[in-house]
């Protein structure tokens, strides 16, 4: 998906001392690949978006080409440690089979004698998908015995599930501590872009933050405060900053307990000569329901009983002009309730501006991912992260348990 890169992210060897799949001798070996196949399904159990499956194909194809016996595992939904037919991975097996152009053996459990027997009959290049890991309570509890039962199936472990790398579960952490383990291609790309870019950005470096709450982005703001050149804040979280400056925001979303922090961060950014942008106008309504009356007002004139649900056209123009000269852009969080047509224009305008920028552009977070796809500009974004919580934690500068547990590369 790379395009218009004025700067490349730092290579993984410079930012993460972990083995990669290419450094394992996997020919003829059983390779357990933890993927993130947590895809949306409709009521008929049909996959409505297979991007997460497609994003892991390079790792799967590599393992097949190298003659490995490929064992795939993932979670799907929240079955809470019990077998729930609504969350079966059977539809994923069918889609994978189509995408790979070869048979995918689907096993109706992920541990046990039956699974071990099927695995023992695998030939080089075979692909097998285990049933939902979260059908067992031991997965989310990172239970040692469950991790051992998973590890028994394989010779090597490869983590390619960035979307689950911030979880200390049996299939991300427990198994990695038992088997020689490595980073898959998708996980490597996520780390290179998200961590490498923040560590060594081509400037000007612009961070665009949106979404509902300041509290969800505290760590990101604190980590970026001395790294970025410009910060643009939209979405619901903007109104906590605006309220903290002493302005009336009507019934807009405000985190009262975050007012002091918001003002402290704003002052710190300005003190660091970081240009800080907030909405100057807003689309407001009395409710989020379809067909509600909307008004366009300056941000300082939101009446009581009304709430801001999108940035206005002047804000979209201001923000777009602010990113025109950017060489690196990270965007996490929409500008409003973009799922509804009446409040989608601000988010889509920013999506188009980010896609038009001659810069390395990185989009993180599930909502932002969906927004750039709905805006029709996803092919013009340099990199779209597959992880919501995981991408936020990397942008916060935190270590992810699923990465930390992998085997360290030995110093040459």
- Alpha-carbon gap, residue 165 to 405, rounded angstroms: 10
C-alpha torsion 97→101→102→105, nearest 10: -10
Active-site residue (options: 4, 94, 213, 317)? 213
User: Catalytic one among 18, 30, 34, 52?
Assistant: 52
Question: Of residues 366, 388, 397, 409, which has the active-site annotation?
Answer: 366
Q: How does strand 294-298 pair with strand 281-285?
A: antiparallel
* CA 355 to chain centroid: 18
Question: What is the C-alpha R_g of the chain?
Answer: 23
| Number of other residues whose CB lies within 10 A of the CB of residue 78 | 11
* Active-site option among 275, 389, 397, 409: 389
Indicate if 389 belongs to the active site. Answer: yes
Our answer to whether residue 52 is catalytic in this structure is yes
Q: Is the peptide bond before 334 cis (omega within 30 degrees of 0)?
A: no
Active site residue 366: yes
Cβ proximity of 57 and 96 under 8 Å: no
| Partners of 373 in the β-ladder | none
CB 352 within 8 A of CB 379: no
Tell me, yes or no, if 291 is annotated catalytic.
no
Active site residues: 52, 213, 366, 389
């Amino acid at each position: 998906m790379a395009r218009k890169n004025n700067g490349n992210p730092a290579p993984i060897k410079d930012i993460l001392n972990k083995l990669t799949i290419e450094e394992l001798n996997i020919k003829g070996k059983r390779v357990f690949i933890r993927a993130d196949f947590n895809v949306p399904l409709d009521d008929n159990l049909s996959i409505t978006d297979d991007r997460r499956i497609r994003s892991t194909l390079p790792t799967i194809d590599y393992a097949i080409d190298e003659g490995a016996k490929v064992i795939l595992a993932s979670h799907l939904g929240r079955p809470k440690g019990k077998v729930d037919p609504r969350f079966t991975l059977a539809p994923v097996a069918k889609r994978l089979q189509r995408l790979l152009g070869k048979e995918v053996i689907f096993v109706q459990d992920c541990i046990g004698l039956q699974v071990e027997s099927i695995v023992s009959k695998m030939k080089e290049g075979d692909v097998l998908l285990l049933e939902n890991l979260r059908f067992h309570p031991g997965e989310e509890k990172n239970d040692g015995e469950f991790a051992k039962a998973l590890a028994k199936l394989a010779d090597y472990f490869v983590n390619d599930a960035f979307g689950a790398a911030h979880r200390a579960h049996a299939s991300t952490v427990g198994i990695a501590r038992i088997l020689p383990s490595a980073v898959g291609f998708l996980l490597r790309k996520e780390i290179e872009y998200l961590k490498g870019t923040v560590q060594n950005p081509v400037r000007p470096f612009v961070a665009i933050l949106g979404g509902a709450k300041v509290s969800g982005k505290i760590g990101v703001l604190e980590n970026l405060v001395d790294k970025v050149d410009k910060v643009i804040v939209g979405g619901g979280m903007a109104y906590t900053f605006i309220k903290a400056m002493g302005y009336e925001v009507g019934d807009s979303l405000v985190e009262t307990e975050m007012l002091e922090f918001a003002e402290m961060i704003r002052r710190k950014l300005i003190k660091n000569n970081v240009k800080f942008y907030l909405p100057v106008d807003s689309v407001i309504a009395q409710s989020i329901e379809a067909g509600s009356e909307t008004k366009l007002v300056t941000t300082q004139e939101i009446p009581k009983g009304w709430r801001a649900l999108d940035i206005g056209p002047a804000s979209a123009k201001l923000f777009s002009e602010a990113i025109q000269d950017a060489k690196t852009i990270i965007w996490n969080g929409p500008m409003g309730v973009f799922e509804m047509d009446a409040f989608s224009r601000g988010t889509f305008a920013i999506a188009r501006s980010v896609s038009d920028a001659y810069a390395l552009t990185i989009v993180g977070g599930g909502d932002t991912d969906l927004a750039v796809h709905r805006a029709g500009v996803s092919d013009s974004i340099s990199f779209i992260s597959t992880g919501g919580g995981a991408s936020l934690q990397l942008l916060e500068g935190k270590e992810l348990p699923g990465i930390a547990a992998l085997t360290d590369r030995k110093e040459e």
